[in-house]
Chains A and B, each alone.
Chain A
């Protein structure tokens, strides 16, 4: 009996402890909410991937992936995006230790690598359209431009976001809200890199297979 009471009281104390801890801090709630957004974004990309996979062979007599894709270009794009993901990770380390110079440096490197990626991608699109492989040529090309262009659009949004965050950082310093937004930005940037892994595998590498 005595033991039972004791166990019960310990149990209650634990419950009380948890409830007294209150709701999770805003940093964790914001991060989790943004994580949910990222997952829904990935679900949207899965629909684009599905339509690409269905239409990949429907080139309507026009140019096929094997004729259009340049693997060296895709490899360089991959390297730029992977390195920018790494520098974004280093930036979040600098943010955690509240190191302003390191943060700005990481952001600049991330921005430049992302811009280099975007430059290569836009040039690739231009070259393809110049040889007549525009989105209206075939279902395959419509699906290709939608999928890869949507990823490129996300990169553009990320770059604009990064610039805005640097402005906020210079105006407001490491306030909690700025740190939260920077944290969400790094999640976004890493998620873009994950989607690019799928793009270069499914679109480029599998596209040039005989």
Chain B
């Protein structure tokens, strides 16, 4: 009763009764994670090399595979789940993801825009987006 009251530390598996908490179930979780991550990695290497896929769609496919693999790592290796006990960890993660998104998308949009507007001046010392 008192044990289940505690929150879960990131990396801990959420409250499992002591009777069910065995090495073998943990092993199973890590092995499933490894298999999924290996499949996703192999798929992204295949996607990058194959010509069977419509070329303009390849970057989007790679991005989806990478995000899926990060999810696999978070759930199976870091044990970040949406369970009630790990609310703090998930909230912190959500805030981190928000900042990462703002930094990445913001920089890309601003620099692309700047690049476009500077193009009128012609030579740009080859610094930006040489095509």
Contacts and interface: CB of A to CB of B under 8 A. Distances in A.
Asked whether A and B interact, the reply is: yes
Interface of A: 18, 21, 24-25, 27-28, 30-32, 34-36, 39-40, 42-43, 46-47, 49-51, 53-55, 57-61, 71, 75, 78-79, 82-83, 85-86, 89-90, 92-94, 96-97, 139, 183, 186-187, 190-191, 193-194, 197-198, 200-202, 205-206, 208-210
Interface of B: 2, 5-12, 23, 26-27, 30-31, 33-34, 37-38, 41, 44-45, 47-49, 55, 58-59, 62-63, 65-66, 69-70, 73-74, 77-78, 88-89, 92-93, 95-96, 99-100, 103-104, 106-108, 111, 126-131
A93 B33 CA distance: 14
Contacts of A57: 129-131
A194 B55 CA distance: 26
Contacts of B100: 42-43, 46
* Prevailing SS type, chain A contact patch: helix
Given A21-B5, A53-B104, 6 more contacts: A43-B100, A43-B103, A82-B34, A93-B23, A205-B62, A208-B48
A24 B7 contact: yes
A107 to B, nearest CB: 16
A200 B63 CA distance: 11
A42 to B, nearest CB: 6
21 contacts: A18-B5, A21-B5, A28-B7, A28-B9, A32-B9, A32-B88, A35-B10, A35-B89, A47-B107, A50-B107, A57-B129, A82-B38, A85-B77, A86-B30, A86-B33, A89-B77, A93-B23, A93-B26, A96-B23, A190-B78, A197-B73
Q: Lowest 7 A-B CB distances belong to which pairs?
A: A31-B9, A39-B96, A50-B107, A201-B66, A35-B10, A89-B30, A46-B100
B73 A190 contact: yes
Contacts of A49: 104
A191 B130 CA distance: 33
Contact of A209 (B6, B27, B59): B59
Contacts, number: 158
A35 B100 CA distance: 15
B6 A24 contact: yes
Contacts of B2: 21
Given A47-B103, A58-B129, A89-B33, A197 B69 contact: yes
A32 B89 contact: yes
Contacts of B45: 71, 75, 205
A58 B103 CA distance: 20
A194 B48 contact: no
Nearest to B41: A78
**Chain A CB within 10 A, most for which of B5, B10, B33:** B10
B8 A28 contact: yes
B74 to A, nearest CB: 7
Nearest to A198: B66
B127 A46 contact: no
A187 to B, nearest CB: 5
A194 B5 contact: no
